[in-house]
Amino acid sequence: MHSVPSIPRAVAITRRCALAGLGGVLAAAVHAEADNDVFSGFAGTRVRFAAVEAGRALLMAEDEWMRATSEFQRRAVMGSAAPVTLDAFKHWNGDAVRPWSAEQRLRWRRVLERLASSFAALRIPLPADVLMIASNGQESAQAPYTRAHAVVLPGPVAHPGYTDAMLLAHELWHVAARHAPALATRLYAEIGFQAIAELAFPDPWAGMRIANPDAPSNLHAMRLRVDGREPWVTPVLVATRTTLQPDETFFNVMEPRLVELEPGRNGDFSRAVLRDGQPLWHALDGPHDYLRRLGGNTGYVIHPEEVMADNVALLATGQRARNPELLARLKAVLEALR
């Protein structure tokens, strides 16, 4: 709260003048506070540091990710041995939202200022409004993530291997990809993925599913050279076991798998290939060319969207990459939008 300047006793003023002066001071304070909550450095986009109620509303929304979470995932996130209802899970997510501290707001405003020019140069299309939500991390095992048009940052964020600029560029790309899915699909093609009808998550693994809020659906697949064949595959996340030891999170049991699929036709979903009633799948680091085709710039290879987010972050921050040729191709695609 801003204090009101004291008025010298020797000055004779009326009550109306005093209230007018107080109103001016409060209006200036509110205006300064509002300006501090909004960053306008991205052309056509307002990035807002969300108030608690706005953040709660977004994190409690029954969106694609919320609907995709399995009962195991909800239990694991909440640390519950008993079943968790979707309504209880929504409230758990909403209750994680915290007000922005002045220190944290300043930290991320500085990062936004650094990224604004590079996002403009790359023509990365963000929506008109982007929210920054502060969280206590209880809903994500302390990991940053995105939902809809929001970046959620558990504080204090310290993500191994990422500078603040890399991390926020990565998360902002997720928001951009959700806003411009055709562009995301075009960039995925540079790492071997093509658009498919959405994968119907395999029923035998439904109870083990772990949904990624950054990319809860599987809308892209690649032809994988394996065992002398070239099946369609897409990466999914499952739990290797559905009970957690004390101090474990879902990250301790999460396993990405390349599931073979038959692309959907005539408006139908894509379906997993089954063998003896179980989905046919391959390890990401198996005897095939999956990792090579992703370009080698990141180890975050659980979904084409995560691979792309790291590559875009490398472009946006100007960091050196093991495969600069891939970054050059991605940059050419982005520049073709001009």
User: Domain check: are 100 and 208 in the same one?
Assistant: no
Asked if 267 and 145 sit in the same domain, the reply is no
Q: Which residues contact 29 (CB under 8 A, 6 or more apart)?
A: 2
Model confidence, pTM: 0.89
Extract the tokens encoding 275.
Answer: 């063998």
Both 104 and 173 in one domain: the answer is yes
Q: What is the pLDDT of residue 12?
A: 33
Identify whether the C-beta of residue 145 lies closer than 8 Å to the C-beta of residue 296: no
Residues 174 and 196 in one domain: no
Written as one letter, the residue type at 257 is R
- Quote the pLDDT of residue 161: 87
Q: 206 and 160 in one domain? A: no
Nearest to 130 by CA among 204, 75, 49: 49
Closest by Cα among 111, 122, 213, 121 to 163: 111
Domain boundary among 151, 180, 209: 180
Q: What is the dihedral angle through the alpha carbons of 282, 219, 132, 54, rounded to the nearest 10 degrees?
A: -120
Task: Give domain status of residue 197, yes or no.
Answer: yes
Q: Is 64 part of a structural domain of the chain?
A: yes
What would the two tokens of residue 69 be?
A: 């979470």
Buried b (16+ CB within 10 A) or exposed e, 286-305: eebebeebbbebbeebbbbb
| DSSP string covering 108-167 | HHHHHHHHHHHHHHHT----SEEEEEEE-STTTTT--EEETTEEEEESS---TT--HHHH
For residue 259, list its beta bridge partners: 234, 281
Query: Among 180, 198, 232, where does a domain finish?
Result: 180
- Whether 50 is in a domain gets the answer yes
52: domain range?
Answer: 36-180
Answer yes or no: is 12 within a domain.
no
Instruction: List per-residue pLDDT tens for the chain, 338 residues long.
Output: 333 233 233 333 233 333 344 344 333 333 334 557 999 999 999 999 999 999 999 999 999 999 999 999 999 999 999 999 999 999 999 999 999 999 999 999 999 999 999 999 999 999 999 999 999 999 999 999 999 999 999 988 777 889 999 999 999 999 999 999 999 999 999 999 999 999 999 999 999 999 999 999 999 999 999 999 999 999 999 999 999 999 999 999 999 999 999 999 988 999 999 999 999 999 999 999 999 999 999 999 999 999 999 999 999 999 999 999 999 999 999 999 76
